[in-house]
Structure 1
Amino acid sequence: MGSSRRRIGIAGTVAGVGAAGVGAAVGLRRVAVGRVRLRPDPDADEPFGELRGRELTVEASDGLPLHVEVDGPDDADLTIVFSHGYTLNQDSWHYQRRDLQGSLQMVFWDQRCHGRSGRGDPLKATIEQTGDDLYAVLKATVRRKQPVILVGHSMGGMSIMALADRHPQLFKRQVVGVALVNTSCGDMAELTLGLPLVLAKVVRPLAPRTLRGLGRRAELVERARGLGADLAFVVTRKMAFADRQVSPTVVGFLEQMIRATPIDVIAEFYPALMAHDKVACLGVLGRVPTLVLAGGQDRLTPAGHSRRIADALPDAELVEVEEAGHVLPLEYPGVVTGGLRRLIDRVRPEYQEERTA
């Protein structure tokens, strides 16, 4: 089956230079922020960050403790493992966690140095290591022959690619489907972050040096981040979202996750993201049905990166939301959850037929 395409127009980079700007900002724009936050907000009472599962600690290959939570019945016929993005934590899957409850087992984990997982050696802040971490999570939470769908947002999608690169035997044998959201298989160093190309060429070389400098002054920067909450809200809304009607509560929730990620962690992972290149592993992902979701206004991983992935996969569904940014799981959660439901419906008959054969 060839790749299918869905382009969704709905009326209506929280990394690198963007993350550095959030980290170093001081409070401004209070009037504008207040006006946005005071408008009617249907998500105002949503319990962001409060959904919890059965907690366990998984030891990574280097001994680092990874915080993992499991929802749903142990005897479920299918498990979905969610990997979050750079500077975020497992709570970024809030809507999917809420809306997919039922017969599925769902596994959520905080990537190393993020959320409630342990802080590790800066030299281990690599995509290859996060792929190995995902392997450890799978071994600890999923029965040997239990079918699995892997879902990754941004850096989480890269972790899935690293897993495919290092453990290709899992795909088709146990991993029966993959969903890649706002992610890339390489060429990250060419990003413009939405800047004019001429300006981007000036800014790009400065970003690693700027972040390293901020990481060395972590205590000072963290104090500034606390003082700059209003400007951080504005920057997050501008860089992460494209929908002008996005819930202020959702923007605030995302900004809080970013602010909770230490600036030195942001600095440590940034070079790994820019060096990411997993084009060669796409053949492994091509063994299973894949859902690829993109935001048409994504500044961090532009939609062209998702199209490139989908074009390389023989059984991919590409969904592009034209008026969306880099955090589809929060900005257009129904699109993400609906896509996952379709992926589940696609893979279930296949592995159930194999089990009864």
Structure 2
Amino acid sequence: MSTRRRAGIVGAVVGLAAAGIATGIAVERAVVRRSKRGVSDPYVDEPFDRLPYDESLVVTTADGTDIHVEVVEPTAAEGAKPTLVFVHGFCLDMGTFHFQRSALTARGEYRMVFYDQPGHGRSGRMETGEYELPALGETLHAVLSETVPDGPLILVGHSMGGMTIMAFAELYPEFFEDRVKGCVLIATSGGLIDETRLGLPALIGRVGGPLLPLVNSATRLTGPTIDRARVAATDLAWLLTRRYGFGESRPSPSLVSYVEKMNSRTSVDTVARYLRTLYTHARYPALAALERTPTVIIVGDKDMITPVAHSEEILRHLPDAEFVKVNDSGHVVMLEHADEVNATLTTFLEKISA
């Protein structure tokens, strides 16, 4: 198919989508207003994106991508403990772990490393190629080499961050023989694509493979246009974030807005270039590296992006792992039910330290 012909098809699709958004935007705004009205909001004054750190640095990967990293140092005068390294998921950033970072900083017992994945948050975009999981595993390795060159580690990954840890285990299994003392896998998947298609709409789920080249072409041709349209349709984005990210019927509006803000920082071009990676993710063999590593698996019982079946399949490969299913929670379980996740995380860390 010629580029001009393909551009015409893409333009028609985008035009139809824009028309649908335009006709429904007033309705969506009314729904958002009703959704926020009368809802108790404990996080209205929460300092999202404003947590302190002791060091901020840029780690440059082998392919030249600049990765934004923040380090929080311990304040308690205790014996050496593992460094905690947090790896966030798709269309999010290090702010995913806001409440875990806040709680653990207050305890002051652990050194913590946070970073934004390539193409997310304040990290640079990959200039060429796909955002493949081995590349994300190499990014994690580069961050570790720069910030934790030696000593024990505990890896915490949410969603695509958990997949990144699996890719890292596949590339560097020796780390799990002596350095990685524990793993926390939150709302993630080892590759159960055929059953659930990672929560993408049914139509895309059925024709995802053939559709991906068209999606990539669409974003190359019209990515900036789609980005501008997405900003204009923030109310619709807010509703979709609440629907697919949360399990409670009326979550904190401020929390939904924060997650939607993280989503909106990821360009459509970056989103499209990650899609093929998520569709082809298959890392169950890599879990063999974690067999002797203490692991806890956490998932929300109403997760629509990586449903409970994904975590149960990981548990089947890691039968000695601890399994925690959080009631009334969706995909961003560590934000939506922070107290429960923090309690699980703290208990897990204390066991490892002991």
Q: Is 1:81 aligned with 2:85? A: yes
Please give the alpha-carbon distance, in whole angstroms, between the structure 2 residues aligned to 1:193 and 1:269. Answer: 13
Structure 1 residues 190 and 242: CA distance shift in structure 2, 3 A:
same
- The farther-off stretch of 222-231 and 318-327 is 318-327
Inter-CA distance 237–340: structure 2 relative to 1 (3 Å threshold): same
Q: Give the Cα separation in 1 of the matches to 2:21 and 2:198.
A: 18
- Distance in 1, matches of 2:194 and 2:249, equals 28
Match of residue 6 from structure 1 = none
Distance 1:292 1:165, change over 3 A: same
Q: Counterparts of 2:50 and 2:215 in 1: how far apart (Å)?
A: 31
TM-score by length of 1: 0.85
Instruction: Assess, with a 3 A threshold, how the Cα gap between structure 1 residues 236 and 213 changes in structure 2: closer, same or farther.
Output: farther
- State how far apart, in whole Å, the 1-side matches of 2:204 and 2:278 are: 17
Compared CA separation, residues 261 and 60, structure 1 to 2 (3 A): same
1:91–1:25 Cα change, 3 Å: farther
- Distance in structure 2 (CA, Å) of the matches to 1:338 and 1:41: 22
Matched residue, 2:252: 247
Indicate which of 135, 139, 142 corresponds to 2:145.
Answer: 139
Taking a change above 3 Å as real, the CA distance of residues 292 and 251 of structure 1, as seen in their structure-2 partners, is: same
* Structure 1 partner of 2:179: 174
* Distance in 2 (alpha carbons) for counterparts of 1:56 and 1:97: 18
Q: Is 1:95 aligned to residue 99 of structure 2? A: yes
Structure number with the bigger relative contact order (C-alpha 8 A, sep ≥ 6) is 1
Task: List runs of 5+ in structure 2 lacking aligned partners.
Answer: 1-16
- Within-5 A mapping of 1:1-357: 25=21, 27-28=25-26, 29-39=28-38, 40-53=40-53, 54-73=55-74, 76-101=80-105, 102-144=108-150, 146-191=151-196, 202=206, 204=208, 208-209=212-213, 211-216=215-220, 217-349=222-354
CA deviation after TM superposition for structure 1 residue 211, in Å: 3.3
The one-letter code sitting in structure 1 at the alignment partner of 2:122 is R
Distance change (3 Å), C-alpha of 1:49 and 1:125: same
Aligned to 2:14: none
Preserved CA contact (<8 Å) 1:66 1:111: yes
- Structure with larger Rg: 2
- Paired AA for residue 50 in structure 2: E
* Aligned-partner Cα distance in 1 for 2:163–2:197: 20
In percent, how many aligned pairs have the same letter?
A: 38
In structure 2, relative to structure 1, the CA distance for the partners of 1:272 and 1:193 (3 Å cut) is closer
| CA gap 1:192/1:112 in 2 versus in 1, 3 angstroms | closer
Unpaired stretches in structure 1, ≥5 consecutive residues: 1-20, 350-357
Task: Return the letter of the residue paired with 2:325.
Answer: E
Secondary structure (helix, strand or coil) at the match of 1:100 reads helix
- 1:325 deviates by 1.3
Q: Secondary structure at the match of 2:178?
A: coil
Number of aligned positions between the proteins: 326
Give the residue type in structure 1 aligned to 2:341.
V
Change (3 A) 1:173 1:255: same
Query: What SS class does the counterpart of residue 272 from structure 1 fall into?
Result: helix
Deviates further, 70-79 or 330-339: 70-79
Alignment deviations for residues 192-232 of structure 1 (CA, whole Å, 9 cap, x no partner)? 566897x6764645753563244121111011011101111
Task: Name whichever of 30-39 and 252-261 sits farther off.
Answer: 30-39
- Which structure has the highest helix share of the two? 2
TM-score w.r.t. the length of structure 2 is 0.86
Deviation of 1:106 after TM superposition, in Å, equals: 0.7
Classify 1:275/1:72 alpha carbon distance in 2 versus 1 (closer, same or farther; 3 Å): same
1:5 alignment counterpart: none
Shift of 1:322: 3.6
Q: How large is the Cα RMSD of the aligned pairs?
A: 2.3
**Cα deviations across residues 274-330 of structure 1 (Å, max 9, x unaligned)?**
100111011111121001011222122111110111121143001112422111111
Tell me, yes or no, if the aligned pair for 1:58 and 1:67 is still in contact at 8 Å. yes
Distance in 2 of aligned mates of 1:137 and 1:339: 26
Question: How far apart are 1:188 and its partner, in Å?
Answer: 2.2
How far did residue 172 of structure 1 move?
A: 3.6
Deviates more, 1:99-108 or 1:309-318: 309-318
Residue 338 of structure 1: how far off its partner (Å): 1.4
